[in-house]
Structure 1
Amino acid sequence: MSTTALRSPWTVWGVGLAVYVLAVFHRSSLGVAGLVATDRFGISAAQLATFTMLQLLVYAGMQIPVGLLVDRFGSRSVMLSGLVLMTVGQTVFAFAESYPLALVARAGVGMGDAMTFICLLRLVSSWFPLRRIPFVTQVTGTLGQTGAVAAAVPMTWALANLGWTRAYLVAGGVGIVLAVALLVVLHDTPAGRNLRGAPMSLASVRASLAASWRHPGTRLGFWMHFCTQFSATTMSLLWGYPFFVRGEEQSSAAAGLLLTLMVVTMMFSGPVLGWLVSVHPWHRSTVVLVIVSSIVAVWTVVLAWPGPAPFAVLVVLVLVTGVGGPASVIGFDVGRTSNPAHRLASATGIINQGGFYASLVMVVVIGLVLDWRTPGASTAYTPEAFRWAMSAQFPLWLLGLVQVWRYRGRARARVLQDREASLTG
């Protein structure tokens, strides 16, 4: 391959995307290994759920530190560090035989996972023309979901045929191959391999974060991400399958099909949304308001349905809810156009916290409500218990919608103010 080809935007993006797909694979790989993990570590269902909660907590908590690191050291160095952490974490997880060590290993994987997406978004902003950035960003999020698909069928086969240790060793070994590709191909910008920002003191870090958060566009992006993503994330990571089987009395095969449809919806709706917001950037918040209102409306129909909802209605539910995943990426585009390049990654980190903190809250609250509404110590959750539990989503949607409406007015006013200042200046 020629030097020109190695330095093309699509080649750089392709290597970065491969690392992100691997991160999504590692994030999702435990989903098909739950029963095996329960036997291997001798843990309860609640302890198994701790893996998911820890993953979300580590991922969300790392967003601002990672954003600051990217602004200071560039995408190449930070993404390489994340790849090393994921590889080491999966390797330790492969050999772990105790629950505490397994938790530490998954925390390492979560930290590495948190260091990929922000880096990739920064690369997209650095390598592609402005008109293409919204579309490429959405395609990035869409293709990243192939990691979740790969974590389903191939990982299930590997666990059954290779066993726990070898399956996770093979998964970790892919990181070594990608590290070599990253070192050879990936450059922070077309002008240089490694981008270095100004050294950051504690005072400068506070000032940078404060400046990002003060901008109404960053806050608008945060609340967009907050209210669009959490329902799909909560369903796909933990509670979707139990809800469909126990709450809606569907078969295991039907529940699996519904969750697969949701992932497929995420993959196909992303490019459409990317095209839409690139053509109508002034109406990005309107798109989010319409999508979230649609999600709320469909959930209302399902939860208010007397008895189990028909399968066709559940199909509509996963299709509409699935659009919320790529819709959350619109928040990053708002943050990109609201902040200067030197603090773009830290602003992205702030925005990326929104949906994951909301998801973390929902994972915990749904479990608590299910236990509250289920008699005794039984885990045989009833449809009525699931109606109560899933209704806990409505307060978060209300909060998010109010905040998006509130900050979109402020963000639009700021855009007009800046435009007027540039014309008069």
Structure 2
Amino acid sequence: MSSARSSHRLTHAHLVWAVGVFAYLCAVSARASFGVASVEASERFGVDGAMLSLFGVVQLGTYAAAQIPAGLLLDRLGPRRMLVLGAVIMAAGQVLLAVSTDLPAALVARLLTGVGDAATLISVVRLIATWFPTRQVPVFTQLTTMIGQFGQAVAAVPFLALLLGVGWAAAWASLAFLLLLSVLLVIAFVRDSPPEEPGTSPAPVARAGQVLKDVFTSRPAWSGFFLHWMTLMTVNSFLFMWGVPYMTALGISAAEVGALLTLNVVIMVALGPLIGVFTGHFPHHRALLGWIAGAILTLTWSLTLLVPAQLSAWQLLPLITAMAIGSATCSVGFDLARTGVPHRAIGTATGMVNIGGFSASLLAVLLIGIVLDLRTGEGAAGLTDYRVAMASQLVLMIAAGIGLWATTRDRLSPPAPPR
């Protein structure tokens, strides 16, 4: 390949990646939007906090359940079509929520958001694996997940400003517009793969049964599943549902809660590229990164929950930092799966890894709620109740550790094959 042609391909690869990242950022904005609109949603639909939590369960459960079907479609249709399909489905969900006045329609809207969201990140990961050299793939995967999290800022600032200033319908319609803008950009600039060399023929499309066999018989893919579970579960259960109530029980003010959550994102964004570079240069140590992050999370959670006194905001900094490390490390699971399956199955394998963290997060959210109910009955939960409930996640962390050990005990993760 000539130098000019190689340079053109690299420029095109960065453009494809940038558009894919924008599509993912839009998806995260749609995913996170309901969390900042909970007060307005409670008034609009006339529901209490317990029913509001159903929106999160529906969206998170749908997202996890749709991963394998989305992965199979990705391996058959390609990432360009899946990015378009995912964004259109999410846009439909935002439009439906904009006009909804009853609970069933609103739940269907969030279900559509979960379905469309399921197709987005795995499609961008597939684009990265196709367009970039092997050593650069972990770095760009980390950058994708880190930049995409700024979609939470879109939900927390401009979306919330529209919601409070202009109204419910206009705010949700703005998210639909943003998603449709990503559709136009994907159609205009994204291609599934670089142009083929002269004389080459495209690879045949594999059957779904063969792809599933490739994925579910791959120990590296299962290692990625359990690594994603171990590093992301407690992070999601904290950020999606129980972190704010727990910190409120500690007596931490709303301003301090916002500062801690912002700091979590900042640390995660700073660490992500470093972990990506390490993964690319030392692929045989990828599972070790998961063990280190899992150990840090388990130790920090244990020490935090064992302290009998009230904790101030600054005393929660070790836990906030540990969760940022977990968030930054979870993408290593995608890289384990990517190099452990044939190229035809990368999309499905990525979806399988995503199921690990998000299904375990859903279990953790439900487990914490069950423990709180058992301890408090109809009464309000106190700090001790939250400590016991949060500690129940240790059971799921042990399960993830057993799974990761079982899938890596006989070998080190193999280095990525040369492209």
TM-score higher than 0.5 here?
A: yes
Give unmatched runs, 5+ long, in structure 2. 1-7
Q: Please name the residue that 1:56 is paired with.
A: 60
Tell whether 2:103 aligns with 1:99. Answer: yes
Task: Return the offset for 1:265.
Answer: 2.1
Per-residue CA deviations over 1:118-165 (Å, capped at 9, x if unaligned) read: 100000011111111111111111101000121112222111111111
CA distance in 1, matches of 2:15, 2:157: 28
Look up the match of 1:338: 340
Moved more, 210-219 or 355-364: 210-219
Question: Does the CA contact (< 8 Å) of 2:300 and 2:319 recur in 1?
Answer: yes
Q: Percent identity?
A: 34
Report how many aligned residue pairs link the two structures: 407
CA deviations on 1:167-186 (whole Å, 9 max, x unpaired) are 11111111222211111101
**Residue type at the aligned position of 1:255:** V
Q: Mind listing any 5+ residue stretches in structure 1 that lack a counterpart?
A: 420-425
Normalising to structure 2: TM-score of the pair? Answer: 0.93
2:3 corresponds to which residue?
Answer: none
Give the aligned residue type for 1:377: E
**Does the Cα contact within 8 Å between 1:61 and 1:353 map onto a contact in 2?**
yes
8 A Cα contact 2:211 2:344, kept in partner:
no
Amino acid at match of 2:78: G
CA change 1:265–1:369 in 2 (3 A) is same
The yes-or-no answer on 1:213 pairing with 2:216 is yes
Amino acid at match of 2:356: G
Aligned to 1:287: 289
Alignment check: 8 A CA contact 2:221 2:337 kept: yes
Ranges of 4+ aligned residues in structure 1 off by more than 6 Å = none
2:316 corresponding residue in structure 1 = 314
Aligned to 1:191: 195
SS at 2:308 equivalent: coil
Structure 1 residue 313, shift from structure 2 partner: 2.5
Q: Is residue 2:411 matched to residue 1:405?
A: no
Aligned-partner SS, 2:339: helix
C-alpha separation in 1, matches of 2:86 and 2:57: 20
Aligned equivalent of 1:423: none
Q: What root-mean-square deviation, in Å, do the aligned CA atoms of Structure 1 and Structure 2 show? A: 2.0
2:67–2:355 Cα contact (<8 Å) kept: yes
1:354-400 CA-partner distances (Å, limit 9, x unpaired): 000000001111111112111x423x310011011101110111111
Q: Does 1:303 pair with 2:290?
A: no
Q: CA deviation at 1:411?
A: 4.9
Q: Distance in 2 between matches of 1:367 and 1:264?
A: 29
Verify the 8 A CA contact 1:28 1:151 in the aligned structure 2: yes
Distance 1:41 1:198, change over 3 A: farther
Can you list the C-alpha shifts for 1:254-273, whole angstroms capped at 9, x where unaligned?
12221222222222211111
Q: Distance in 2 between matches of 1:205 and 1:179?
A: 27
Which residue identity does 2:302 align to in structure 1? Answer: T
| Matches of 1:180 and 1:212, distance apart in 2 | 32
Aligned to 2:4: none
1:422 alignment counterpart: none
Q: What is the match of residue 112 of structure 1?
A: 116
CA distance in 2, matches of 1:391, 1:264: 26
Within-5 A mapping of 1:7-156: 8-156=12-160
Question: Equivalents in 1 of 2:205, 2:144: separation in Å?
Answer: 30
